[in-house]
A and B are shown apart, each in its own frame.
Chain A
């Protein structure tokens, strides 16, 4: 390591967490290969790597959820046994999970006290007070009495963080915390992390594959590739370019565009340097929008407006990006177009024809395809095979006398697996056995195979690595080029900017502005998206 001023301060830090030669395999797949790491007190350490590089497994080993084959783990110089999350937590290691460990139907305060031990009685007021107090100290605002199921993903993450911070851990591990957050929420999270490290001397390990945020928030970055540590560098001395090189290795050339977007610093510069995508001229006579939402209102059970008079139009071949902070009506918009909820008033028109929503399959029959935001929840059936999942949208055409014709099913499966380059051991393999990126390809392939006239894509690349992301983007562009109108709902501004022809901003269930991609001013966009937080004061 070079002897810059940053590294000398780092070297002086007391080592809080040490890993020695840790190896772990799942079957034939090597997740961690002889990994050694030292995390200092008050340090924010980034673990960078593509999906499957072994970042998450490594940290699950530290937190006691996964037992490695070999290696040693020390905290404050003392050996800590593997495979016991309770002991790890007692010794000051806390982990915020990628998939949350919250009990949905319970209120926040019950969830927070769930990891407490000892007392026979539950101290509701004490826990609630602590939530408010710790929340205020770190800027994590959560209502202790709110039911977790009613919270947005960002809010749930705040609950997870509160659960950890309340115990004042020595090492706080966050697994892909920003993959579900908006830019604003991420910035707020980073502020909390810095405060933890600087003011309280707590160590933070941040797992991510986002280069920008690594450079923005960490002190040092360790790059993992194929389960091995490639390098550890001072963030101040690293560039996005160099990190990308190390993270991707030979894959560096995969998608210059995707990478370019990630490497550019601010969103403003992205807007300037990238020419807006070309829009295929709609054929004459096709001036009827493929999808029209007219004054859609959806009200929650408690009576407040979730969608408050939404008007949208998408032309054939157009990609309309809906930008916004999570929890401002995006889920309801997707739900409406997936037939999961019906509007209280307003009309949905597909190619000019009004469609009855809220029940049955009318929207699907009319040619609306949906890639839901949570692919595990409503996008696919993990226990079913790849072929079956691919056919789910096209079953109408391959059923005779109530029996699914296996030959057609497999033909379709073979074709789509080849077309979309889905990596799977066989068509009969359960979908669960595929990686996240390949699962998303299955969902995408299924929806596009039906040749929809409208495709709703909600967070289509959430949690995917750069390679998978570029691929999905290319397919969405291709679909638009053949005349499909695409409604892209994303909390990732880079994605909105890279794909959209027009950008609409959603805020508190209302579309508060729509503009062509070329006219987008990112500062203004951010202001419109964040209007809610300003209102809150």
Chain B
């Protein structure tokens, strides 16, 4: 029994980690008022680039770095299209997502890749804690970046001037502008940060968790990350909780049949999403989104 629980916790955390990297970046972007739905495309591109980069260089670490760079590259397209020349941000995001699926599938058919994977890292002592020890302290190397990124995002949002300006830009861009804050620049920067973390998420998925790239392997996890941000009411700890919830639901889906529990598979697949809708409906009473989320800013005629 204890073993079963340990197993489910371990797999929940692994799935949640993929979501959390992307969700942290998405949280920062949305706080600045931009709904960065190309996070999915950035993840998928990052996953492919990391896998191919690892194969080409023979090092998972170099490959990981290449994946992150490609994630930033995809976000740079999104940022400059939607917050420089002001193309509709949803259209831009959708196109980038479709483009990423097409391009990575095409390239996968063109190249041969030998699988490369990060090894397991075990933190002595801590990893021996019952139930959660394995999950939190024995994982593939990139997992441990979470211990840096979660506090970093907390600091950015709570303590840094950049974070304060992002909040102002997301809540009231006209007031931010009147205070001399460059609205579009801050939004682009927030998207770059989101792209960096989407790249980390994708690279962790391909060369960390799985050890190979498969077509459309992110399977809309980018959108689940967006849902986690909404679920978390645009707060850091809420977002962390959201990814754990969705990660846990996914882990249950995978492991329940293996543990001998029989439920109709369709219900199992729907379970995480039903839970998400119920939770968001309940929580949305208390938390509100950044007031200018998804709105393009144009300086008014004063």
- Chain A residues at the B interface, C-beta cutoff of 8 Å: 26, 60, 65-66, 85-86, 89, 97, 100-106, 110, 113-122
Question: Given that A105-B291, A121-B161 are contacting pairs, would A114 and B179 also be in contact in the complex, using a CB cutoff of 8 Å?
Answer: yes
Residues of A contacting B176 in the complex (Cβ-Cβ under 8 angstroms): 103, 114
> Are the CB atoms of A120 and B162 closer together than 8 Å?
yes
> Are the CB atoms of B180 and A85 closer together than 8 Å?
yes
Residues of B contacting A104 in the complex (Cβ-Cβ under 8 angstroms): 171-172, 291
- CA–CA, A114 to B159, complex, Å? 13
- CA–CA, A118 to B165, complex, Å? 12
- Chain A proximity of B69: nearest CB distance (Å): 24
Most chain B CB within 10 A, of A97, A102, A114, A116, is at A114
Q: Is there a chain A Cβ closer than 8 Å to B178's Cβ?
A: yes
> Are the CB atoms of A120 and B172 closer together than 8 Å?
no
> Are the CB atoms of B175 and A120 closer together than 8 Å?
no
Question: Given that A26-B301, A114-B168 are contacting pairs, would A101 and B179 also be in contact in the complex, using a CB cutoff of 8 Å?
Answer: yes
- CA–CA, A105 to B176, complex, Å? 13
Number of residue pairs across A and B with beta carbons under 8 Å?
61
> Are the CB atoms of A121 and B291 closer together than 8 Å?
no
Residues of B contacting A116 in the complex (Cβ-Cβ under 8 angstroms): 161
Interface mask (B154-187 → A, CB under 8 Å = 1, otherwise 0): 0000011111110110011011101111000000
> Are the CB atoms of B171 and A117 closer together than 8 Å?
no
The listed residue (B160, B180, B288) touching A122 by CB distance below 8 A is B160
Q: Is there a chain A Cβ closer than 8 Å to B285's Cβ?
A: no
- Chain B proximity of A346: nearest CB distance (Å): 26
Give me the 5 closest cross-chain CB pairs, A-B, nearest first: A101-B178, A86-B180, A115-B179, A103-B172, A101-B175
Question: Given that A120-B160, A120-B162, A121-B161 are contacting pairs, would A106 and B171 also be in contact in the complex, using a CB cutoff of 8 Å?
Answer: yes
- CA–CA, A103 to B291, complex, Å? 10
Residues of A contacting B181 in the complex (Cβ-Cβ under 8 angstroms): 114
Residues of A contacting B266 in the complex (Cβ-Cβ under 8 angstroms): none
- CA–CA, A202 to B205, complex, Å? 61
- Chain B proximity of A458: nearest CB distance (Å): 24
- Chain A proximity of B258: nearest CB distance (Å): 46
Residues of B contacting A85 in the complex (Cβ-Cβ under 8 angstroms): 178, 180
The B282-297 residues at the A interface (CB cut-off 8 A) are 288, 291
> Are the CB atoms of B180 and A110 closer together than 8 Å?
no
> CB-nearest residue of chain A relative to B165?
A114
Residues of B contacting A100 in the complex (Cβ-Cβ under 8 angstroms): 175
- Chain A proximity of B50: nearest CB distance (Å): 30
Q: Is there a chain A Cβ closer than 8 Å to B302's Cβ?
A: yes
Q: List 24 A-B contacts (CB under 8 A).
A: A60-B302, A66-B302, A85-B178, A85-B180, A89-B180, A100-B175, A101-B175, A101-B178, A102-B175, A103-B168, A103-B175, A103-B176, A104-B171, A104-B291, A105-B291, A110-B164, A113-B164, A114-B164, A114-B168, A114-B179, A115-B179, A120-B160, A120-B162, A122-B159
- CA–CA, A116 to B168, complex, Å? 13
- Chain B proximity of A93: nearest CB distance (Å): 13
Residues of A contacting B167 in the complex (Cβ-Cβ under 8 angstroms): 103, 106, 110
- Chain A proximity of B274: nearest CB distance (Å): 30
> Are the CB atoms of B161 and A115 closer together than 8 Å?
no
Residues of A contacting B160 in the complex (Cβ-Cβ under 8 angstroms): 120-122
- CA–CA, A513 to B291, complex, Å? 41
> Are the CB atoms of A117 and B180 closer together than 8 Å?
yes
- CA–CA, A307 to B289, complex, Å? 30
Residues of A contacting B168 in the complex (Cβ-Cβ under 8 angstroms): 103, 106, 110, 114
- Chain A proximity of B30: nearest CB distance (Å): 15
- Chain B proximity of A81: nearest CB distance (Å): 15
- CA–CA, A121 to B180, complex, Å? 18
- CA–CA, A103 to B185, complex, Å? 19
Most chain B CB within 10 A, of A26, A100, A103, A122, is at A103
> Are the CB atoms of B161 and A120 closer together than 8 Å?
yes
- CA–CA, A89 to B181, complex, Å? 13
> Are the CB atoms of B164 and A122 closer together than 8 Å?
yes
- Chain B proximity of A150: nearest CB distance (Å): 15
Other contacts beyond A101-B178, A103-B175, A121-B159: 5, CB < 8 A? A65-B178, A89-B180, A103-B172, A105-B288, A114-B164
- Chain A proximity of B161: nearest CB distance (Å): 5
- CA–CA, A372 to B174, complex, Å? 24
> CB-nearest residue of chain B relative to A56?
B302
Residues of B contacting A26 in the complex (Cβ-Cβ under 8 angstroms): 301
- CA–CA, A26 to B300, complex, Å? 13
- CA–CA, A281 to B279, complex, Å? 60
Residues of A contacting B162 in the complex (Cβ-Cβ under 8 angstroms): 120
> Are the CB atoms of B175 and A115 closer together than 8 Å?
no
- Chain A proximity of B2: nearest CB distance (Å): 45
- CA–CA, A86 to B181, complex, Å? 9
Most chain A CB within 10 A, of B168, B180, B181, is at B180
- CA–CA, A365 to B168, complex, Å? 41
Residues of B contacting A122 in the complex (Cβ-Cβ under 8 angstroms): 159-161, 163-164
- Chain A proximity of B85: nearest CB distance (Å): 22
> Are the CB atoms of B302 and A105 closer together than 8 Å?
no
> Are the CB atoms of B171 and A115 closer together than 8 Å?
no
Residues of A contacting B164 in the complex (Cβ-Cβ under 8 angstroms): 110, 113-114, 122
Residues of A contacting B291 in the complex (Cβ-Cβ under 8 angstroms): 104-105
Most chain B CB within 10 A, of A26, A97, A101, A113, is at A101
Residues of A contacting B301 in the complex (Cβ-Cβ under 8 angstroms): 26
Residues of B contacting A119 in the complex (Cβ-Cβ under 8 angstroms): 161
- CA–CA, A17 to B253, complex, Å? 71
Residues of A contacting B178 in the complex (Cβ-Cβ under 8 angstroms): 65, 85, 97, 101
Most chain A CB within 10 A, of B161, B176, B181, is at B161
- Chain B proximity of A153: nearest CB distance (Å): 15
> CB-nearest residue of chain A relative to B170?
A103
